[in-house]
Amino acid sequence: MPTVHFVKRLRYTEGVAKVDRRERERAEFREEVLAAARRIVLEEGFNALTMRKIADAIEYAPGTIYLYFESRDAIAFELCRAGFESFLAALLPVKAIANPVERLRELGRRYLRFGLENPETYRLIFMEDPKYASEAFQENAEADDSPGKQALALLVATFAELRERKLLDGDADPIALAETTWAAVHGVVSLKITFEHHPQTPSNELLELMTDTLVRGFLRTR
Amino acid sequence: MPTVHFVKRLRYTEGVAKVDRRERERAEFREEVLAAARRIVLEEGFNALTMRKIADAIEYAPGTIYLYFESRDAIAFELCRAGFESFLAALLPVKAIANPVERLRELGRRYLRFGLENPETYRLIFMEDPKYASEAFQENAEADDSPGKQALALLVATFAELRERKLLDGDADPIALAETTWAAVHGVVSLKITFEHHPQTPSNELLELMTDTLVRGFLRTR
DNA sequence: GTCTATAAATCGATAGAC
DNA sequence: GTCTATCGATTTATAGAC
């Protein structure tokens, strides 16, 4: 009886290990596909993302990808989902900054840096047809813990803190102020991603000028 | 001799009239194509713009369109060219406003209105792959009288005027200030076009808050 | 698990009948 | 000037051999 029990446990453990290895290899293949997909979107745009190009890039047959992803749409969705996650990860460190004004400035800088370093991801989640992005953003769900919503909440919380400390001029809604700031920084990033020669002002200079101007406009004291 | 001369003139006049009518009908057909193309871009996005869909919409055979447009690219380019023209036309009336600050505010309002009323055109010229747009914008040419460049010049001139009147705080470049403003308003418009539920603040409120904040930040006096 | 082969659809653009 | 018919290429996705 104890022996049988032992054998059973051993087999069970082996089974788990085997499943683990398979899932790991499966995850590795999926990551290879996604990495290739990101390169293609970066170099040729989203509508050039085809199963065949991915297959060529990872040196597999087109059909093989369908064993790991249900469809092209599923790959696009996963790019968005992972995109929002790394976007949030790029912004989160600002939580360590105590001064809300300085936190605001650093949020802008990190936002810009993420957009310029990951233009393909940025375009996918913030500029393209929101068919895939809005689902990954959980735009329609009431849950507010999606990475996208957490990133926005970071900005709203900073303005709420500014208001609590009576630093804001006027009585504007923190959400409206956060969305204004978001739109302003998004404008800088998205123009740079779309156009090669405009704006001609370097992005970081443009962002600093934007942030300085907004902060001067928002705050009670100059 | 005079008769011959008369006949010649008559024939010549007839010929011109006939050519005129043909060119008019040709222009009408082209406009029908472009109108259908705009509807398709609006409803299904730019990469859903196909010759077959246009042909279905105007109830002609696909091949017929090739008698009026060289290719699909030629249609896309013409959409951009006409887009920049109507964009400039939407902004030009602000020249009548003497007060540069008020002109700035009205520029923002007209920019926003154009974007929301012509989202397909706005997306095409300012958000999509600039393959067609940059040519229509004459981004690379030194000529500065393209509609797109004229629109940008309108904004730069306003900031130059503000600087001349010593109304600006600091010594920022009019071009940098203009590009900052452009980016800010573009952020409001493009976010609204891309997302359905974000920003949740109504566009016109968001724009007024943005403009108020920027103006407060730009100007020497509160 | 990966391959080859292919179905089924859709695309841009052209040829030729009328 | 418009049509039908079609070429040739490309796509997603699947079926079946190995």
Of the candidates A95, A105, A93, the residue with the CA atom closest to the CA atom of residue A219: A105
A181 vs A42: CA distance, rounded Å: 26
Nearest CA in chain A to B178: A199
Residue to substitute from A44, A150, A194, A220, interface B, most B β-carbons within 10 A: A194
Distance from CA of B11 to the nearest CA of A (A): 52
What Å distances lie between residue A59 and A65, A134, B135, B186, CA to CA?
Answer: 11, 31, 37, 41
The domain that holds A17 is classified in CATH as 1.10.10.60
**A195 - beta bridge partners?**
none
B194-204: pLDDT as tens digits = 998 899 999 99
Amino acid letter at A191?
L
- A37/A15 same-domain check: yes
Identify whether B208 is part of a domain: yes
Rounded to an integer, what distance in angstroms lies between the CA atom of residue B23 and that of residue B29? 10
A51 touches strand D (CB under 7 A): yes
> Following DSSP, what letter does each residue of A72-141 receive, concatenated?
HHHHHHHHHHHHHHHHHHHHGGGGG--SHHHHHHHHHHHHHHHHHH-HHHHHHHHTS-HHHHHHHHTSSS
Residue A219: strand pairing partners? A168
3-state helix, strand, coil in chain A (%, to 5): 75, 0, 20
pLDDT given at position A11: 56
Residues A138 and A115 in one domain: yes
Instruction: Return the residue of B nearest to A176 by Cα.
Output: B201
A52: enclosing H helix or E strand: helix A51-58
Which residue from A85, A76, A69 is spatially nearest to A27, judged by alpha carbons?
Answer: A69
CA distance B67 to chain A (A): 28
Q: What are the Cα distances from residue A161, in Å, to A99, B36, B93, B134, B157?
A: 10, 50, 41, 42, 38
DSSP B127: T
CA of A199, closest CA in chain B: separation in Å?
A: 6
Task: Please answer yes or no on whether A183 and B200 come within 8 Å at the CB atom.
Answer: no
- Residues A95, A27 share a domain: no
Q: Do A31 and A115 belong to one domain?
A: no
The model's pTM: 0.90
A144 and A186 both lie in a single domain: yes
Phi, psi of B219 (to 5 degrees): -80, 155
Would A76 be classed as within a structural domain?
Answer: no
- Tabulate helix, strand, coil % of chain B (nearest 5): 75, 0, 20
Q: Say whether B173 and A215 touch across the interface (CB within 8 A).
A: no
CA distance A162 to A156: 10
In a domain, B90, yes or no: yes
Task: Indicate whether A140 and A34 sit together in one domain.
Answer: no
User: DSSP 3-state assignment of B141?
Assistant: coil
C-alpha closest to that of B41 among B129, B138, B110: B129
Q: How many domains does chain A have?
A: 2
Final residue in a domain of this structure, among A69, A103, A118: A69
- Among candidate residues A29, A46, A69, the one where a domain is terminated: A69
Task: Give domain status of residue A74, yes or no.
Answer: no
pLDDT of residue B12: 58
pLDDT tens-digit profile, chain B (222 residues)? 444 444 445 555 667 887 888 889 999 999 999 999 999 998 888 899 999 999 999 999 999 999 999 999 999 999 999 999 999 999 999 999 999 999 999 999 999 999 999 998 999 999 987 888 888 888 888 888 899 999 999 999 999 999 999 999 988 899 999 999 999 999 999 999 999 889 999 999 999 999 999 999 999 865
Separation CA B36–CA B38 (nearest Å): 5
Structural domain contains residue B214: yes
Find where tokens 């840096």 sit.
Answer: A113
* pLDDT higher than threshold 60 for residue A186: yes
B184: Cβ contacts below 8 Å, ≥ 6 apart? A183, A184, A187, A210, B210, B214
Question: Whole domain around residue A114: which residue ranges?
Answer: 81-218
> For residue A83, what are the CA distances in angstroms to A94, A118, A120, B2?
19, 9, 9, 81
Amino acid code (one letter) for A184: A
Q: Are residues A128 and A148 in the same domain?
A: yes
What amino acid occupies position A69? Answer: F
CA-closest candidate to residue B180, choices B79, B108, B127: B108
CB contact under 8 A, B206 and A182: no
| CA end-to-end span of chain B | 81
The model's pLDDT over B64-116, given as tens digits with 9 standing for 90+, comes to: 999 999 999 999 999 999 999 999 999 999 999 999 999 999 999 999 999 99
What's the Cα-to-Cα distance from A197 to each of A172, B124, B210, B211, rounded to whole Å? 35, 17, 25, 25
A50 touches strand D (CB under 7 A): yes
Q: Return positions of chain D under 7 A from a protein CB.
A: 1-6, 10-16
- State the CATH number of the domain containing residue B189: 1.10.357.10
Tell me whether residue B74 is in a domain. no
Distance from residue A85 (CA) to nucleotide C15 (C1'), in Å? Answer: 53
A57 touches strand D (CB under 7 A): no
End-of-domain residue from the set B19, B34, B69? B69
Asked if residue A140 and residue A35 are part of one domain, the reply reads no
Both tokens of A195, joined, read 């156009």
**Rounded CA gap, A173 and A159, in Å?**
9
- For range A88-114, the mean pLDDT: 98
Inter-chain contact B206–A176, Cβ cutoff 8 Å?
A: yes
Select from B176, B194, B197 the Cβ nearest to the Cβ of A205.
B176
Let me know whether B61 and B131 are in one domain. no
Same-domain check for residues B109 and B182: yes
Task: Examine the domain organization and report whether B125 and B209 are in the same domain.
Answer: yes
Residue A75 placed within a domain: no
Question: Which neighbouring-strand residues pair with B168?
Answer: B219
Asked if residue B147 and residue B45 are part of one domain, the reply reads no
B120 lies in a domain?
yes
A139 Cβ contact partners less than 8 Å away, ≥ 6 residues apart: A130, B195, B196, B197, B198
